Structure 1
């Protein structure tokens, strides 16, 4: 899975296929930190890579 965030546009890709995009037109986060979490249960994230665009 690949998540890309450029300005107020968030794009999701799975196995190089675009699964959708979302534009936050009301109150976008234009800077900040990156985090990974799950709402339910315990999960592990492996090979998490954060790069500048």
Structure 2
């Protein structure tokens, strides 16, 4: 079974958008850092970037 969708906070979205403007593709290290900082899983961040592209 899948988890329900999570709405991202404006802080999380602002940071994700800023990173996306800087680079459309994340390094593994940057993804790990964002994951810790934003309290999201690496998979969530990876998927957000894929969908945003």
TM-score (norm 2): 0.25
More strand by percentage: 1
Q: Could you say which structure has the larger radius of gyration?
A: 1
TM-score (norm 1): 0.25
